[in-house]
Amino acid sequence: MERIQVLLANKIGGNIKPSGNWLLDSGASHHMTGKLEFLSDTWSGESFAVGLPNGTHIFANTHGRVVLNDNFTLNDVLYVPTLNCNLISVQ
């Protein structure tokens, strides 16, 4: 996890390409973003119910890849249209 934090802090590997904050979330089931433009190589996959901070749920089924910088790529990132942040799922 420390390596992820260093990469996100821009200390190595250059600038984070998709702008915006990326939060480490040990409770997230998937990497997630509310910005479709951050995703490349998108595909429709299994639909997942995502719980939002306001207590509602939304179903999301668009997946893709996010290249954060030259050294760090997130695979199988879930696009959640109403999500106002970006989450990196960590165990």
pTM of the model: 0.78
Q: Which domain holds residue 50?
A: 2-89
pLDDT digits (tens, 9 = 90+) for 63-72: 999 988 888 8
Question: How far apart are the C-alpha atoms of 19 and 1, rounded to whole Å?
Answer: 21
pLDDT digits (tens, 9 = 90+) for 30-79: 999 999 999 999 999 889 999 887 889 999 999 999 988 888 899 999 99
Q: Which residues contact 29 (CB under 8 A, 6 or more apart)?
A: 48, 50, 89
In angstroms, the Cα distances linking 41 to 3, 14, 34, 77, 78 are: 25, 22, 16, 10, 12
If one counts the domains in the chain, the total is: 1
